[in-house]
Structure 1
Amino acid sequence: MFVMELTYTAPVERVEPLMEAHVAWLDGLYEEGVFIASGRKKPRDGGIILAVGDDRAGIEKIAATDPFVVGAVCTYRITEFIATKTAPELAPYRQQPSS
């Protein structure tokens, strides 16, 4: 599982015009089953996405297609973790650590 933390590198006034395209991008990745949660950070200086994927390189490629990245208004910090414990609703995403 991956935590994708995006941080705005431009004022929110430059982010807003790209919001519709960003939300459509999110929606597509929810439909594909890659994203399982997302939202704005508070204070509003970026956002967080929880993603599932086979490897970090694949998630990095996905991040590079975000309209916010293409529009040069944010950067991503991607953290991979092994979700060994979850709420019951997230049980399908539980992972076992490799030895």
Structure 2
Amino acid sequence: MTDEPIRVVALVEMAAGHVEAGARYEDAVLALLGRYGGKVERRLRTGDGGTEVQVLTFESRAGYEAVLTDPERLALRAGLGDAAPTTRVLEVSDVP
């Protein structure tokens, strides 16, 4: 069985009062995706910057899972503490 490409949509809510820190964190994390066969298809923000929607693709599920456990990503998140964004991730596919 081959590991098929996957697409996810991430709905990112910045912590109240920490929009800039959250945006810097997201910039840094998204820069890591290439290590794992991932790329950003779209990145959209609300006018106040408090919410971000990201459409991401990965060459494989293993690549996506590797991003989640990347030591650099985990350290960045830990460093933010209460300022870390809250993210809901949905795996999606095209509608026929």
1:63-82 Cα shifts (integer Å, max 9, x gaps): 99274x43132111001111
Q: Could you list the runs of 5+ residues in structure 1 that have no partner in the other structure? A: 86-99
Superposition pairs of residues 38-57 of structure 1, within 5 angstroms: 38-53=43-58, 54-55=60-61
Q: Could you list the runs of 5+ residues in structure 2 that have no partner in the other structure? A: 1-6
Residues 17 and 5 of structure 1, relative CA distance in 2, 3 Å threshold? closer
Structure-2 separation of matches of 1:49 and 1:81: 12
Q: Is residue 75 of structure 1 aligned with residue 86 of structure 2?
A: yes
**Contact 1:3–1:48 under 8 Å retained in 2:** yes
Residues 83 and 30 of structure 1, relative CA distance in 2, 3 Å threshold? farther
Q: Is residue 6 of structure 1 aligned with residue 12 of structure 2?
A: yes
Task: Give TM-score, length-normalised by structure 1.
Answer: 0.55
Structure-2 separation of matches of 1:77 and 1:47: 11
Q: What is the RMSD computed on CA atoms of the aligned residues?
A: 3.6
Percent identity, aligned pairs only, is: 15
Say how many residue pairs are matched.
Answer: 82
Q: Which has the higher contact order (CA 8 A, sep 6+)?
A: 2
Aligned with residue 40 of structure 2, among 35, 39, 45: 35
